[in-house]
Amino acid sequence: MFTLFNLVIGVLWALILIFGEWQDSLFGLVIVANALIGIVQELRAKRTLDRLAVINEAPVRVRRDGREREINPRDVVLGDLILLGPGDRLLVDGEVVHSDGLEIDESLLTGEADPVHKQPGDQVLSGSFAVAGSGAFVSTRVGTDAYAVKLAEEASKFHLAHSELRAGVANFIKYITWLVIPIGALLIYSQLHNSADLRTAVTGAVAGIVTMIPEGLVLMTSIAFAVGVVRLGRRKCLVQELPAIEGLARVDVLCLDKTGTLTAGGMDLDEVLPMPGEHPAEEALAALAHLDERPNATAEAIRARYPAAPAGWAARSTVPFSSARKWSGADFGGHGAWVLGAPDVLLHGGACYDRATELAATGTRVLALCRTDSLDATERGQAAVEPVALVTLKQRIRPDARETLGYFAEQGVTLKIISGDNPLAVSAIATGLGIPGGERALDARDLPHDDPAKLGELLDAHTVFGRVSPQQKREFVAALQARGHTVAMTGDGVNDVLALKDADLGIAMGAGSPATKAVAQVVLLDDSFATLPHVVGEGRRVLANIERVSNLFLTKTFYAIVLSLAVGLAGMQFPFAPRHSTLTNALVIGIPAFFLALAPTLERARPGFVPRVLRFAVPAGVLCAAAVLVSFWAAHRGASTLLEDQTAAVITLFLTTWWVLVLIARPLNWWRTGLVAAMAVLFAVALSLPFVREFFALEPGDLANDLTAVGVSLVAALMISAAVKLAGTLRP
């Protein structure tokens, strides 16, 4: 409500109510309409976001009065004992009181990518998140005292997604505001100086100034964004930043994490294949799976086969699983130290390694169960491990994955499959889904780390990458962006957080870790990969339609600027009154813009929004203004009345701007044809019905004037079509 344009229109509205007739003050209703429509749409969007945010908000696990419970994040108080597991976000500051291999990633606060091991007594800060192990801490600073909140207040690193659309509209408004002031002053002076009638002078000046203001452009942009949020909300898609909708339309590279995106959540234990020798493989496997209070998907699959931990297998020390390490382990005392993890990390050749490679090539997820002399030495890569068994797990391919991937291929969006799994396993799944280039997977451990240009070339040339570390995912995003790509990244695990944050658009799965959902701009709450085409389609709809609407509003602004300048410099009567402007603007801009802004479209986003709109609106506006001036001048030379002269100018204005509407509405399907035809019919009705003519001060009584207006309009329409074609701003 409190905008510069509303202030200007409000002052002009008051002037008309004082000096003019009330019919000429209809333009003032724009303030009321803008405010009401904008408020309603914003409230609808806010309600949708609030409902989705509650669903998305991860509860905090605390121990109160001796029992564990989940509470709302805002209900955490000082002294709460907060429990942590992999993927949990820290929402308050505190002191660690228990650690079972707890590792905290503080990269969002410090920029340091390596996780930090936390021991009892260590401090933990809000804004970080757990990546491995488990533990508990006592909250010592909550609310505005928490570190992350203070950091945000002092120098927030958070920024909205870049919006060329938002920036372009803001620039239009800024420059037009500066133009309105001097041109409006010139127009007011000329009308007062050359008109004996104060009422006529004021209404003429107001008509010119009001027409220069694109008062509905910001409204239509806000409505399009808000409606996009509501539409996506109905598909269980939470848009956490409005400009992210625009980012959806510009994406040309989509990086997909295999696990949780192409494959459904969870796995099934397939086989335990023992190696030669007498070893308690199944007992060790069951014991390892029951170590963590909050098991990952692999441990859950093993637990389903072995629901109870074997007796006598108590762990003396443990090493929790992490994406960087790619294995977990425990020392069971007399039973020895055991590790479970990726074969290509734990093993270095041999029959077991070869067998694991063969299995992985079929798309099976393979783990190696090994004995080791020392967990510490294994972590340093200095211990010899003895392979005991291979464990195979079945991954569940999402039923909608193939169709969704086909959609992106049709839309020209390049896919990059990025996974921490074995490259052969990832390649098998990609090939099975028909992803082009899926058979040529690269092992990320062999990629250059110190040559971003070379890395970018390899990323452009290949589609599937395995054994990608969390830090490499971030490097991949940066390398693709450096090559001019607009990159979207999907993910669900803590290992995806840094890449999601750096991508142009981060898309998180609803079942993913709280840290992942916190940094993403879009969250797919129902974990449906098939929602992504709707997400991209909504972004393209918003972007393409706002460009159409901007063409309409800016054409009006430029013809008003040219008319006002010409009238002010020539010292002539303004060609029409405010009510005339209200009528034509409603029929060729206001009503059509509302429908065009919300219409479905399959157009792909194109860069260069601002120059493209200007290349259309400037020549179209100038030619419309020239046609109106010619018609008014020709009519004014005859013996007709001022009202008849203004009517001829209004006919010309409507016909030329209606043709602009036709050009913008293309391609003309049935409903667009009906829309532009309905506007023409409504204008004909306004000229035909006596009470409507009287209300809008129209008097089409001079046939020569009216025919001249039609002829001038036809010539102007041909010139506008030629100018638009020459500029190449619209698709046919």
Catalytic residue numbers read: 257
Q: Residue 701, CB half-sphere, CA atoms under 13 Å: how many?
A: 12
Q: Which pair of tokens denotes residue 568?
A: 């002010």
Q: Which residues pair with 331 in a beta bridge?
A: 317, 337
DSSP string, 656-708: HHHHHHHHHH-S--HHHHHHHHHHHHHHHHHHHSHHHHHHTT-----HHHHHH
Task: State the pairing for strand pair 414-418/464-466.
Answer: parallel
557 contacts 263 by C-beta, under 8 angstroms: no
Query: If DSSP codes are grouped into helix, strand and coil, which group holds residue 415?
Result: strand
367 contacts 496 by C-beta, under 8 angstroms: no
**Which amino acid would we find at residue 462?**
H
Edge-to-edge strand order for the sheet containing 414-418? 237-239, 522-524, 505-509, 487-491, 253-257, 414-418, 464-466, 441-443
Identify the CA nearest to 285 among candidates 309, 268, 266, 312: 309
Cβ contacts of residue 8 below 8 Å, gap of 6+?
Answer: 180, 209, 213
CA–CA dist 720, 730 (Å, integer): 12
Maximum CA extent, the chain = 114
CA–CA dist 40, 227 (Å, integer): 11
DSSP string, 433-475: TT-TTTT-EEEGGGS-SS-HHHHHHHHHH--EEES--HHHHHH
Q: Let me know the angle formed at the C-alpha of 364 by 362 and 366, rounded to the nearest 5 degrees.
A: 125
**Which amino acid would we find at residue 236?**
K
CA–CA dist 499, 520 (Å, integer): 10
CA–CA dist 312, 319 (Å, integer): 19
Task: Return phi, psi of residue 355, to 5°.
Answer: -65, -40
691 contacts 712 by C-beta, under 8 angstroms: no
Identify the H or E element spanning 224. helix 217-234
Q: How many residues does the chain have?
A: 732
Task: State the pairing for strand pair 81-84/60-64.
Answer: antiparallel
552 contacts 660 by C-beta, under 8 angstroms: yes
Phi-psi region of 89 (alpha: psi -120 to 50; beta: other; left: phi over 0): beta
Identify the CA nearest to 491 among candidates 406, 420, 409: 420
Query: If DSSP codes are grouped into helix, strand and coil, which group holds residue 711?
Result: helix
Phi-psi region of 277 (alpha: psi -120 to 50; beta: other; left: phi over 0): left
| C-alpha distance from residue 437 to each of 57, 112, 414, 448, 456 (Å) | 38, 34, 11, 21, 17
